[in-house]
Structure 1
Amino acid sequence: MNVQLGKGSDRNNRRYAPGCFVASAAAAAVLAATPALAATQAGSAIANTATLTATTDGGAPQSLRSNTVTLTTAEILDVAIAADRATAETRGGETAAVGFVVTNTGNGQEDYTVVFGSGSSGVAVDRLVIDSDGDGVYTAATDRPLAPGTAVSLAPGQKTRIFVLLDGAQVGAAATITATATARTGSGAPGTVYPAAGDAGGDAVVGATSATASATTQLGPTAGVPMLAKSQSVLSPDGGARAVPGAIVTYRLLASFPTATRGVVIDDAIPAGTTYVAGSLKLDTVSLSDASDGDAGSASASAIRVALGDVPAAASRDIQFSVKIQ
């Protein structure tokens, strides 16, 4: 998934010239001496005028000024990105929020394209949000959703946190999520110049970071803690999947146990507005009676209960039951 963290419309409408490499020793020396955050704002005009004062043969002092020479400070393209945590545990049935902080370490307003990937682990990104209140904690009520392609301007030194939201049930062992931030104006070898592509029409010059940076968080299921994930499917009277009166909703509960677990009981209340479908309770595809008798399950008009007892390590249990929408 790609997300553009961007600049104002003046930069968006700019036509960028192809990059060319600064070959002079002087330019290379300037880049080598550039700090992480340059003190002079990109696009700043640096003007200089000299004054000559002299006494002529007639004895009258005179003063004259030279022409003024002006140059525009180039924009240094640099970026840093850091993961909030090197490792993050996830839990099935819950949303995991993995944070990455992007910082504009250059000296001008800049757009950044941020690409999220999971390599070969196949973890799918659910959605993205900006840490709107800057508290470092994902809060659904306050943090702003970030659609792919949304532009957010970063001033020099400014940083923003992006939360990547993942379905914890999708995360397996040795899964990773990597975020790579790249300056939209351009990137490449330090010293590469993008003529007239910087702030105020000055040049943009790739800084020491090559204007791109990556960070990775190692993901994994919460060690030793059972997980319970729930899904549902709907069959309407006309054979469709609409939740209308008379439709049958089948719930599936998948419980997994990374370590040996004792005395496991699963309860699930029958939702309001529905009635339990008699005889629909199953454990690992085997039907259970609704009465409280010798098998593991029981069902009533208000809830189902399945007593799994002691479950060995690396085991899972699959429970299903159905209700009818009134």
Structure 2
Amino acid sequence: MNALRKHGFTWLVLALGFGFLYLPILILMVYSFNESRLATVWSGFSVKWYGELFRDRSMLQAAWLSLKVAFWTATMAVVLGTLASLVMTRMRRFPSKSVFGALITAPLVMPDVILGLSMLLLFVSMGDVIGALGLGEFQAKGVMSIWIAHVTFTIAFVTVVISSRMTELDKSLEEAAMDLGANRIKVFFQITLPIIAPALMSGWLLAFTLSLDDVVVASFVSGPGSTTLPIKVFSSVRRGLNPEINALATIMVLLVSVVVVAGWWWMQRAEKRRQLDMQMALQENG
């Protein structure tokens, strides 16, 4: 009886936790089909706000811009984060290695306001220097500035994810490949990269989500014609709740859910394939 009560209490706490996390999102998705212009008053089922959303060119342009910036941010963050992880986990200790690790992970604890302001001052200074040297014009506020700023703070998260996976990686596999004549580059692409692929996907999805969700940093470095979706939504909500926002949020939730499920399926498949290869290798050696 006590075990049954404990089991029921566990399921109750789990249900309350999931309800607290996902019930507001579910309510938002339900109200996206509300016919009333008042986002919090239900007056009947309708999909007209989805039609209004697809006719709102400014909202669609902001969404497309955010998706492009998030994609390229995640891609570059994974490339740089992988290189930083290699330095932290595979290179021999050098005098400034601890400083290098601290600088890489500093954006994890740095307030977004400080990061956004520092990036803005950097871009303004870069524009002045480039203009003074006669090398052209660099816009301190624009799409390129948003991309650089997002890569700057997402690389810390990606590095932590990939470094933790590379720390657990058995170095004897890499050493065995080098003993057989493979150079370090070949070992990385044929041995290390396939093993850490799930971590790369996790880091990519994390960086994509952080970039797509950012408001504070982007508000400092965005300019005319470079308004991202979070800034657009934030400015719209300040004027009052709009049912179009509910429809947009529903589409974004479904899109992100599909990407996360696909990434999870791919990582599970890659992990099973890796375990199967390791078992076959152990059987052959045995």
Q: TM-score, normalised by structure 1?
A: 0.24
Q: TM-score, normalised by structure 2?
A: 0.26
Q: Which has the higher strand share?
A: 1
Q: Which has the higher helix share?
A: 2
| Larger-Rg structure | 1
Q: Which has the higher contact order (CA 8 A, sep 6+)?
A: 2
